[in-house]
Amino acid sequence: MAVTELSNQRCQTLLISIRKIIQAVDIHSRKLNKEFGLTGPQLIVLKEISAHGQISITPLSRATSLSQATVTDITKRLESRGYIARKKREDDRRAVSLFLTEKGQDIIKNLPPLLQETFTQQFSDIEDWEQMMIITAFKRVVSLMAADKLEAPPILLTGPIRHNTND
């Protein structure tokens, strides 16, 4: 099948829209890093620790959809900067819980909403039929880009995404 001029224009329009989404995520991530000195994944980990009060690495990894190795690395950096601390759990002395320090609590209070939080609020405000139309269209785009096997958390970040091994 030949690509018609109209089809080519539509494809270009869609690719530009995808690129704008990627740029918006990247710009937001850079802004957070510049203003707070933290990366998107670090902020997500801080917010998740804040939401739980205290949490250990494995459930934190599950809650953020990040690998345990990534979460371990992030928490070491956050601890070295004084945003979180560790303490041995009382029910299992071998296990360690993470919690926010006063400095970590202060940064959480001053954070602007993450991009996905703003998106979620605006998306929730549109009609159900339009939400379903957008979801269906995006699923189709994912399929057209052969990205169905990629695993991605519902977090708008740039960087590597794990491949889904559960085919």
The domain segmentation of the chain, as residue ranges, is 24-144
pTM greater than the 0.75 cutoff: no
- Give the torsion sign (CA, 156, 157, 161, 162): negative
Q: How far is CA 66 from CA 35, 57, 74, in A?
A: 24, 10, 10
In percent, the amount of the chain with pLDDT more than 90 equals: 40
Q: Where does the pLDDT of residue 90 fall: very low under 50, low under 70, confident under 90, or very high at 90 and above?
A: confident
pLDDT of residue 2: 65
Reported as a single tens digit per residue, the pLDDT across 133-153 is 999 999 999 999 888 887 766
* 1 or 52: which leads in pLDDT: 52
Most confident of 21-25, 29-33, 91-95, 98-102: 98-102
Reported as a single tens digit per residue, the pLDDT across 48-74 is 999 999 899 999 998 888 888 989 999
CATH assignment of 24-144?
1.10.10.10
Strands 54-55 and 84-88: unpaired
Q: What is the dihedral of CA 55, 57, 63, 66, to 10 degrees?
A: 150
- For the chain, the residue count is 167
Strand partners, 84: 100
Which has the closest alpha carbon to 158: 45, 62, 22, 65?
A: 22
